[in-house]
């Protein structure tokens, strides 16, 4: 990777709109990075932390707050896509089905999608739905990196064991394990690494 920048200060983040269908979302020439994860994984908090904004993405104790594809232009350098959470949000099965179809179409059809940040709750055992998503992304050759959230809420030794447990089932199918970053908006952890990753990709685009 390129030399790390100690503190990325993001001055301009422009909301480009909220879109219920992929075909309704405008196309950009800038590289696009999508954030996705199980409902209540801490996605909105991470996005706000990364962009240094308090209310850029809506946070809520009730899963399912994000219902559309929300797009943001970050510094006229890259597009941030905030996708609906998958899993056990307290919404109807019909609506969850629509979200699933929308997410799949976005991941497969979005031409300027450069990388997916797949958020994983670092506090809990591996969830089948997360493993399935990882394998699906791999099967469809969608570039992604794992982002473990809420690392401040678990002791270091427990965190390391959780990581071992998480990657165990992946070792059975993956020759090379997915790259990952540990994050915590509370402890100010992982932001520089994540932005380094984005800017390294932008530099070679």
How many distinct structural domains can be found in the chain?
1
Q: Tell me if 5 is assigned to some domain.
A: no
C-alpha to C-alpha distance for 166 and 112, rounded to whole angstroms:
30
CATH code: domain of residue 65: 3.40.50.300
121-136 pLDDT, tens per residue?
Answer: 999 999 999 999 999 9
Q: Tell me if 3 is assigned to some domain.
A: no
150-204 pLDDT, tens per residue?
Answer: 999 999 999 999 999 999 999 999 999 999 999 999 999 999 999 999 999 998 8
Contact 190, 35 (CB under 8 A): no
C-alpha to C-alpha distance for 166 and 189, rounded to whole angstroms:
20
Q: Tell me if 19 is assigned to some domain.
A: yes
Q: DSSP H helical segments within 40-155, as ranges?
A: 43-51, 93-109, 128-139
75-111 pLDDT, tens per residue?
Answer: 999 999 999 888 655 544 554 455 568 889 999 999 9
Two structure tokens written together for 175: 């020759």
Q: Tell me if 8 is assigned to some domain.
A: no
C-alpha to C-alpha distance for 51 and 132, rounded to whole angstroms:
29
Two structure tokens written together for 81: 């896509």
Q: Tell me if 149 is assigned to some domain.
A: yes
Q: Tell me if 6 is assigned to some domain.
A: no
Q: Tell me if 55 is assigned to some domain.
A: yes
For residue 180, report the phi and psi dihedrals to the nearest 5 degrees. -145, 160
Q: Which domain holds residue 164?
A: 13-204
Q: Tell me if 1 is assigned to some domain.
A: no
Give residue 64's pLDDT band: very low, low, confident or very high (50, 70, 90): very low
């Amino acid at each position: 990777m390129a030399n790390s920048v100690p503190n990325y200060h993001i001055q301009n983040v422009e909301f480009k709109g909220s879109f219920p269908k992929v075909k309704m979302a405008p196309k950009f020439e800038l590289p696009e990075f999508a954030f996705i994860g199980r409902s209540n994984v801490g996605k909105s908090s991470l996005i706000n932390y990364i962009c240094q904004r308090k209310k850029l993405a809506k946070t809520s104790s009730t899963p399912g707050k994000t219902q559309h594809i929300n797009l943001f232009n970050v510094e006229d350098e890259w597009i941030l896509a905030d996708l609906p959470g998958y899993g056990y949000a307290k919404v109807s099965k019909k609506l969850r089905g629509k979200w699933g179809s929308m997410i799949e179409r976005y991941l497969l059809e979005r031409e300027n999608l450069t990388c997916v940040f797949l958020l994983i709750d670092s506090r809990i055992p591996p969830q089948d739905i997360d493993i399935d998503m990882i394998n699906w992304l791999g099967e469809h050759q969608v570039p992604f990196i794992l982002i473990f959230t809420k690392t401040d809420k678990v002791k270091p030794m427990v965190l390391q064991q959780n990581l071992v447990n998480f990657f165990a089932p992946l070792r059975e199918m993956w020759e090379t394990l997915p790259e990952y970053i540990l994050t915590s908006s509370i402890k100010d952890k992982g932001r520089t690494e994540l932005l380094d990753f984005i800017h390294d990709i932008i530099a070679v685009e």
